[in-house]
Amino acid sequence: MTNRAYVLDVSAFQPQATYYSFWAKWRARGVRGAIVKLTESTSWRNVYGAGQIAAAKHEGMKVSGYHFSRFRGNGAQARAEANFAIANANAMGLDHGVPLVLDYEERLGYQSSNTLAAIVFCNAVKVAGFVPCFYSYSGMKNLWDFEAIHRATGAYLWIAAYPVRGGVTAPLYNYFPGISNFICAWQFTDDFFGEGIDASVDLTGEFTNMTQEKITSGGNLDVVAFDNDTSFKVSGWFGSDKAQGKGYAYIILTDEKGKELTRQQVNVTARPDVAKAYPDIPNATNSGFSAEFKYTGDMAGKKLNVIFRYTDDSAGNGNFVDYTNIIDFTKSQAYLDHINTVVFTNKLRVSGWFASDLSVGLAKRFLVLYDVDAKKELQRIKVDSVKRDDVKKANSSIYNAVQSGFNGEFNYDASLVGRKLQIIARYSDDDNGEGHRVDYWFDPFNGPAMPVVDGKTETSVLVHSFSAESKGDKTQLTFK
């Protein structure tokens, strides 16, 4: 057996894999592929996944993904985990046409049910436009029947067996675990070059061959944008060779566990750009999807699955093929534009903006002045929303960004100068700013010096108008 290119598999334990330099170093050691852990069960996602995929691609690696399963022999759970893995693979930028691996490591269950559940998962991955692959340890071969998995799905086997421990720099082929004729890669160490990272040798080119495979299915979620304070628009594209004969198109929103929230039948639109990029997808020319949905409180703070579907059923069920991605309604962004003291009025004036997906139904706006060292609120003021078209333009995917602005003035005196203060912007459903609420805590700052007008310190004041009126032996000054 001749030497082959190496593959690294990384997860959230390797945040450094988001740097180009990480992959450049490993490329010099013969690594030509990356397999990134994307998801686990139906709730865990790799927060570094998108960055790891992008960094590995930048350094010329072929990038695949893997999902760590928890479904054992439960077919329904296997389908739910597959949907979760597929949605996150699409959202993190994993290319269609590359392996999306089922990582099966639970030493539990029965061979027959484990095998059937694995088939469910691998078939879902295949329909979604990825290459199915099955990973496990050679010592677990009695817990699954890989030949049956391969026959049913076409999946290949990525097998793990470590003949030696420690800082391994090359596989010992005399110990190759030849338990199947369909092994595509062998993970031979979990401590490559003594750096505590899993490495595999690619036996067939599945994980390292950069030759573009024919892609006959693909999609993308292009835009999620709020047009107003009640609804949002979803648009993108989905094309598939399996869409032929399926004349109805739907966009469906579900929670992450698959519970449907709403659906709309749509008419697909022309996407000549997709046809140019993916000439092997039969219906790419007309593959555009678009719909507008009402934004509701039960969507706020969640990550939803958005499904583009072709089906032969007018109700959106029947025989169907899906593309799944993720809409993130957990986002908050804010910026404090100005903090300054106001001459003559002893006020601390603040202005900025705060937009949050979680603010739906929270119509009251407040600003809080907080003492960081004393850990207590000093003042709270109610403010009005200020229209911010600039924020909407830059953050259209965040709920009600157009009305995210605020201005406010706190009472300010010498006792606050130099103290570590913090501004909290708040949305609430309570007239006093309690109840249900969502906050943004801006970075602490030191209380600024008091403005001084004493005849010794020169102070500039910007006013629109000025008048003086004599009243007996006094003169009244008016600034506007």
Round to whole Å and give the CA distance between 21 and 133.
29
pLDDT band at 166 (very low <50, low <70, confident <90, very high): confident
The confidence score (pLDDT) of residue 469 equals 53
What mean pLDDT is predicted for residues 263-272? 98
- The more confidently predicted of residues 109 and 213 is 109
**In this prediction, what percent of the chain has a pLDDT beyond 90?**
88
What mean pLDDT is predicted for residues 422-428? 98
Taken in order 213, 206, 76, 300, the sign of the CA dihedral is negative
What mean pLDDT is predicted for residues 9-17? 97
Read off the pLDDT of residues 134-155 as tens digits, 9 standing for 90 and up: 999 999 999 999 999 999 999 9
pLDDT band at 463 (very low <50, low <70, confident <90, very high): very low
Query: What is the phi/psi pair of residue 301, to 5°?
Result: 80, 15
Lowest mean pLDDT among 158-167, 170-179, 237-246, 338-347: 338-347
What mean pLDDT is predicted for residues 433-455? 88
Round to whole Å and give the CA distance between 65 and 310.
25
- The more confidently predicted of residues 261 and 471 is 261
Architecture of the domain whose range is 332-446: Sandwich (2.60)
Contact between 413 and 346 under an 8 Å Cβ cutoff? The reply is yes
The confidence score (pLDDT) of residue 127 equals 93
Contact between 52 and 18 under an 8 Å Cβ cutoff? The reply is yes
The confidence score (pLDDT) of residue 471 equals 54
Residues of the chain with CATH 3.20.20.80: 6-202
Contact between 31 and 61 under an 8 Å Cβ cutoff? The reply is yes
Strands, E, within 98-246: which ranges?
A: 99-103, 131-137, 156-160, 183-189, 198-202, 217-226, 231-240
The confidence score (pLDDT) of residue 229 equals 80
What mean pLDDT is predicted for residues 176-204? 96
Lowest mean pLDDT among 42-56, 83-97, 113-127, 441-455: 441-455
For 22, half-sphere exposure in the C-beta direction (CA atoms, 13 angstrom radius) is 20
Percent helix, strand, coil in the chain, to 5, is 20, 40, 40
Query: CATH for 6-202, among 1.10.150.120, 3.20.20.80, 3.50.50.60, 1.20.1050.10?
Result: 3.20.20.80
pLDDT score of 390 more than 50: yes
What mean pLDDT is predicted for residues 162-174? 92
Lowest mean pLDDT among 108-117, 175-184, 449-458: 449-458
Strands, E, within 155-247: which ranges?
A: 156-160, 183-189, 198-202, 217-226, 231-240
Read off the pLDDT of residues 207-217 as tens digits, 9 standing for 90 and up: 999 876 788 99
- How much is the pTM? 0.85
pLDDT score of 104 more than 80: yes
The confidence score (pLDDT) of residue 210 equals 85
The confidence score (pLDDT) of residue 257 equals 85
The confidence score (pLDDT) of residue 247 equals 97
pLDDT score of 421 more than 50: yes
pLDDT score of 1 more than 50: no
Round to whole Å and give the CA distance between 460 and 476.
19
DSSP 8-class letter at 111 = H
The confidence score (pLDDT) of residue 461 equals 40
Residues of the chain with CATH 2.60.40: 217-328, 332-446
The confidence score (pLDDT) of residue 480 equals 47
pLDDT score of 60 more than 90: yes
pLDDT score of 446 more than 50: yes
The confidence score (pLDDT) of residue 241 equals 94
pLDDT band at 452 (very low <50, low <70, confident <90, very high): low
What topology does CATH give the domain 217-328?
A: Immunoglobulin-like (2.60.40)
